[in-house]
Structures are given as structure tokens and as C-alpha cells.
Amino acid sequence: MSHKSNDVYRAVWRWHFYAGLIAIPFLITLAVTGALYLFKDEIDHWLHADLMRVQAQESVMVSPQAQRDAALASVEGEAFRYVPSSGAERASEIDVRRPDGARVAVFVDPYSGEVTGDMPYQGSVMWTIRQLHSLNFFGANASMIIEIVAGWSILLVLTGLYLWWPRGRRGGVMSVRGRPRKRVFWRDLHAVTGLFVGGFLLFLAVTGMPWSTVWGSKVNELANGHNFGYPDGVRVNVPMSEERLAENTETSWSLEQAQLPASADSPAPSIGLDRAVAAFDALGLAPGYAVSLPSGPNGVYTGSIYPDDLSHQRVVHLDQYSGEPLLDMSYADYGPLGRGLEWGVNVHLGQQYGLANQLILALACAGIVLLCVSSGVMWWKRRPTGRLGVPPEPDDPKRLRGVLALLAIGGVIFPLVGASMIVMAVVDGLVRQRKRQRVPI
């Protein structure tokens, strides 16, 4: 390797080390919680079987209104969401807002109309795992860390690919040398695992960005314009309320900012839940949809479905008095950017391609954990006693600045990542200064 190439290698290695220092502790948690969440329905229906499972029967199911009434007889409050049974052995779910503001998910046997039990709304085990995965469990601002980690993960993959490049080597490229007690074994294991897992890590980091606090919200605005939160090209020619779709139901990434239309004032009574469900069935919403109930005299019935197959993703708002659709949109109505990002989100969640999608990403998550563990063992075996073991700086400092300039391009695209890079660059400057002063680091 030439002196120039060696300098570039050192510069890349140094920033690969810093990226790992920042990202790896979070990557392990993200990989474990993400792998679990891939099987959210299977795990929730197993853990909460006493609430969510019922005995399949040949009898006709009781009406949605009767199921709602049974839930309200069990839990005092106002129903705001109804999720019909999605299978012969699945209970229906009626979500209720108590007088004190707390929200409760009540499960009802659709055959008998009897309540099987309740839990806090979004209180399932897998919802908790999702909150841990996004760090929302620790507050809204904590999710900013995910954006930073995703950006540094992209940096990890790109710098790792450069470090892996054979340059005439054979060992440690596609095979692992030595035994576990040797550092070369962990170095090769890290490199080879990174080769196979790096693409998945890059994909998960990029497709996880739409949920991020700063970058995600700005890209959402770019993808969906300012058309009441709906994608450009979708005409909204009805009165709109200030209420948001995401306030009372789960929604897709593209519709996180979408506002609800408003029902026209009318002396007529509301059509009721039974007629609303019949209308959604007649409109052909795919099974498994949820119904958000009107929240006032100008509220609407909203039927929404976000299934594994994106082509069936759909949201329909009904006037609560006439039962007529006010806005009916599907995945096909999103713009090109919205459709692309929705596809990435659906694959990221392990939904788009069924069981194969879940298993492949679960294996990728296991590989990411192995990647992180092998890097930690490799560093531990390499580090000098009593020092952090930061990789050596280039002989020519310009090489380090050149690599940092390339990284700054990514920092402009992802502002929070860019800010963290500035902090890391300052830290690196202090590290190099201490080294020049011969103080152990």
C-alpha cells in the first residue's frame, strides 16, 4: 500500500471507529427490538390470547353497534375506534376514552357480544417493544437519537466497505482465519459478517429515516406537500377540520400529518356504526380495517387499512349523516416519493413480502448483533493498556480533512447527523492534540 493510500486508509479507519463508538450500543438494542417487532402480530396474539382469541363459531356475528355497547357497558367512557374481527378466531377491539382521558382497548367476542377483557390502549407487549425501538418510550426528543444513529450507521457501512476491500488480500475477505482466542478471527468475522449484513444495515438505516424527528418530518412535507397533509395530486374539495387522522388511529407514514374532513351540518341523525361498517364493506375496504368514530357534530367515520400488501392500503372518510364518501384515497394516489418511501417502510416492518420478509430481516438483525459483538471483542484485543485505542491518524492531516469533507455532504442531507459530526470532529481534534502532548488516551 502506498504512503498516500495508507494515509487515506488510516483516516477512514479512524472515522469508522468513531461511527462504531456512537452507533454500536444503540444498534444492538435496535436489532433485538426490531427482530421481535417483525413478528408483532404473532407474539401479541400469543401473549394476549386470553383477550384477543375467541372460539370460532358458525353463528352470525353480533352487530358492530352491539359490540360497541357491550364494551361501553364494561368500561365507562366514549368509544373512538372500532376494529372488526380480522379472522374467525379473533376478537373485535373497541377503543374507549375514559372520562379522565385515559384510553382503554376493550376486546369483545364478535359471536356472543361478551367482553373478553381490556388493556390500556396501545398497551400490548409489542407496542412497548415498538416504543423502545423508536426510543419514544423515553420521550419525544429521545427519538432524535435514532436519526443520529441511523446516519452514523450509514457511515459505518460505507467506511466498512472501504476497509474490507481486498487490495490483493485473500484472508478475511470471504473466509475467517484463526480461532476465537486470536484477534484475527474476530477481525475476519467482523469483516465477513459486515459484507453480508452491511447492505441490510444500510437499507434499514435509510428506510428508518422517515420516522425521524427532523429529517423525517421535512421529507414528509416534501412528499405530501401542504395539501392538508395529503399527497400532492389528491384533491381535497370538502371542508376540512383541525383534527388529525393520527390522533385516533394508526396511520401510514404518508398520512401522519393528514387532517380529517368535516361532515356537513345536518338535522339528520348520524348513520351509526352499523351503517358505517356496511358502507365500508360495500366500498371494498380490505378485511382488517379499523373504523375511527366521529368525535363531534362535524366528525366523520374513517375506515383505514394498512395491510401487508401496499396495493390494498386505503383510507376512506364518510360523512356521518349522509354516509357518502368525502375522501377516498389509496396507495396509488401517493406521489412517486411517497410510494417509494411507503414501500421502504413496509419492507422495514417485515410486512410487504410475508414470512420471507420477516425471516430474512430477522437473520439480518442477528447478523447486526454479531457484527457489533465481534467489533467489541476485536477492539478489546487490540486496544493498548490504559488507552482508548483510537486508530492512528494519517501522517498527512489533509487526508483526514478530505475524508471529513466527504462525510460533511451526508451531514448536510441529515442535519442532526451533521451536528453530531461537528462535535465528533472537535473531540477528534482534542484527541490528536493530547497525543501530540504525549498524554495517554
pLDDT given for residue 409 in this prediction: 79
Burial class for 14, CB neighbours closer than 10 Å (0-12, 13-18, 19+): buried
Among 64-68, 269-273, 337-341, which stretch is predicted with the lowest mean pLDDT? 337-341
pLDDT given for residue 438 in this prediction: 60
Is 372:24 a contact under the CB 8 Å cutoff?
yes
Residues 6+ apart with CB under 8 A from 129: 33, 36, 37, 40
Among 74-78, 135-139, 161-165, 221-225, which stretch is predicted with the lowest mean pLDDT? 221-225
Q: Identify the band that residue 404 occupies on the pLDDT scale cut at 50, 70 and 90.
A: confident
Residues 6+ apart with CB under 8 A from 412: 418
Domain residue ranges of the chain, discontinuous segments joined by +: 3-23+140-212+360-436, 49-123, 234-334
Burial class for 398, CB neighbours closer than 10 Å (0-12, 13-18, 19+): exposed
Residues 175 and 191: their CA atoms lie apart, in Å, by: 9
The number of beta carbons lying within 10 Å of the beta carbon of residue 428 is 18
DSSP 247: G
Q: Is the pLDDT of residue 350 over 90?
A: yes
Q: Is the pLDDT of residue 1 over 60?
A: no
Q: Is the pLDDT of residue 4 over 70?
A: no
What does the mean pLDDT of the chain come to? 90
| 17-30 mean pLDDT | 94
Backbone angles phi, psi at 331, to 5 degrees: -60, -35
Between residues 342 and 412, the one the model is more confident about: 342
The arrangement of secondary structure in 49-123, i.e. its CATH architecture, is Roll (3.10)
What cell numbers appear for 321 in the block?
A: 349523516
pLDDT given for residue 3 in this prediction: 58
Is 396:7 a contact under the CB 8 Å cutoff?
yes
Q: Is the pLDDT of residue 250 over 80?
A: yes
Residues 164 and 143: their CA atoms lie apart, in Å, by: 31
| 105-118 mean pLDDT | 97
Q: What is the largest CA-CA distance in the chain?
A: 84
Q: Is the pLDDT of residue 100 over 80?
A: yes
Extract the runs of DSSP E, i.e. beta strands, from 131-284.
Answer: 240-244, 259-261
pLDDT in tens, 408-423: 777 778 888 888 988 8
> Mapping DSSP to helix (H, G, I), strand (E, B) and coil, where does residue 43 land?
helix
User: pTM of the full predicted structure?
Assistant: 0.90
What cell numbers appear for 398 in the block?
A: 489533509
> Mapping DSSP to helix (H, G, I), strand (E, B) and coil, where does residue 127 land?
helix
Backbone angles phi, psi at 215, to 5 degrees: -60, -45
Q: Identify the band that residue 441 occupies on the pLDDT scale cut at 50, 70 and 90.
A: very low
In 38-75, where does DSSP find H-type helix? 40-47, 49-52, 64-74
pLDDT in tens, 265-278: 888 999 999 999 99
What cell numbers appear for 213 in the block?
A: 424527528
